[in-house]
Amino acid sequence: MTLRVRNNLAHDSSIHWHGIILPTGMDGVPGLSFAGIKPGESFEYHFDVNQSGTYWYHSHSGFQEQTGMYGVIVIAPREPDPVSYDRDYVILLSDWSDEEPSNVYAKLKKMGDYYNFRERTAGDLWDEIKAKGVAQTWKDRSMWNEMRMSDRDISDVTAYTYTYLINGVTPEDGWVGLFKRNEKVRLRFINSAAMRIFDVRIPGLRMTVVASDGQNIDPVTVDEFRTARAFNLAVDTVSLAVPA
């Protein structure tokens, strides 16, 4: 396969083919596998496609991925697919901020909890002392200080900073996938977010994971899964209350 990428931006760019096995020089990571693509120039990627499944591509330059330079790759298998389904949807999860990613980065470099509104307060300290005593409270806080971390780090970048999208659609607008009663639907989940993992659940419905990172696996039925990669699910809609 030959893919020619032309950089029409004012800055260096690149495209990385996430999950695709290919020669090192075609991996699309500046400073590691190639020099990048200069403004106004093109680069040709040459590689054989020996895989099938769900993958994605994205820029590996600057903050370009965070500003939307990514997309889906679905490679159909040469042989009949072992997973049967009536409908097939790609679910591309991502995050978006109206604030320039470079500004977000600069603020976090100066103060790691700049956007974190869940840090402990003086009131929390008093509650901890009452619950655990002075010695244990001191020990717990000293442990985090020694690691130069906070137990609230997971909230450093949240929905205050980012809006979480499904196929580019906001939660307010709501992405819609159509299906009929008793159909089996294949959902190809991809996490293209720059700053977030996602816990995925369909209320009242169990899901069967049939592939991970483009590779078919022994089916596993779950109520919920966490994605930081590409997952394929086969969902039987028989248990949904779907209007006829």
Residue 111 counted as domain residue: no
Indicate if 92 and 213 belong to the same structural domain: yes
Same domain, 65 and 7: yes
Whether 112 is in a domain gets the answer: no
151/165 same-domain check: no
- The number of folded domains in the chain is 3
Give the model confidence (pLDDT) of 4-58 as tens digits: 999 999 999 999 999 999 999 999 999 999 999 999 999 999 999 999 999 999 9
Average pLDDT, the chain: 87
d(CA 136, CA 73): 51
The answer to whether residues 93 and 166 belong to one domain is: yes
Examine the domain organization and report whether 142 and 174 are in the same domain: no
- Reported as a single tens digit per residue, the pLDDT across 152-191 is 666 677 788 899 999 999 999 999 999 988 889 999 999 9
Residue 154: predicted pLDDT:
67
244 inside domain:
no
The full 3-state SS of 179-223, as one line of letters, equals: CCCCCEEEEEEEECCCCCCEEEEECCECEEEEEECCEEEEEEEEC
Task: Give the per-residue pLDDT at 239.
Answer: 34
Question: What's the pTM value of the predicted model, to 2 decimals?
Answer: 0.82
Calpha distance 74→82 (Å, rounded): 16
Residue 193 has pLDDT above 80, yes or no: yes
pLDDT at 236 over 60: no
Q: Residue by residue, what is the 3-state secondary structure of the chain? A: CEEEEECCCCCCECCEEECCCCCHHHCCCECCCECCECCCCEEEEECCCCCCEEEEEECCCCCCCCCCCEEEEEECCCCCCCCCCCEEEEEEEEEECCCCHHHHHHHHHHCCCCCCCCCCCHHHHHHHHHHHHHHHHHHHHHHHHHCCCCCCHHHCCCCCCCEEEECCECCCCCCCCCCCCCCEEEEEEEECCCCCCEEEEECCECEEEEEECCEEEEEEEECEEEECCEEEEEEEHHHCCCCC
Q: Examine residue 108 and state whether it is found in any structural domain, yes or no.
A: no
Amino acid at residue number 89: Y
Q: Are residues 233 and 174 in the same domain?
A: yes
According to the model, what pLDDT value does residue 142 have?
Answer: 86
The DSSP bridge partners found for residue 233 are 187, 209
* Residue 101 backbone phi and psi in degrees, to 5: -55, -35
110 inside domain:
no
* Within a domain: 49: yes
**Furthest-apart CA atoms within the chain: distance in Å:** 66
Distance, CA of 192 to CA of 179 (rounded, Å): 25
pLDDT tens for 119-162 read 777 788 888 888 989 999 888 888 877 877 777 666 677 788 89
Q: Are residues 165 and 146 in the same domain?
A: no
- The answer to whether residue 52 is domain-embedded is yes
Confidence band for 235, pLDDT divided at 50, 70 and 90: low
- Asked if 19 and 64 sit in the same domain, the reply is yes
pLDDT at 230 over 70: no
CA distances from 44 to 15, 101, 147 (A): 11, 28, 45
Q: Phi and psi at residue 55, in whole multiples of 5°?
A: -140, -175
Q: Are residues 44 and 136 located together in one domain of the fold? A: no
Q: How confident is the model at residue 241 (pLDDT cuts 50, 70, 90)?
A: very low
Q: How far apart are CA 137 and CA 129, in angstroms?
A: 6
Domain region containing 208: 87-99+161-239
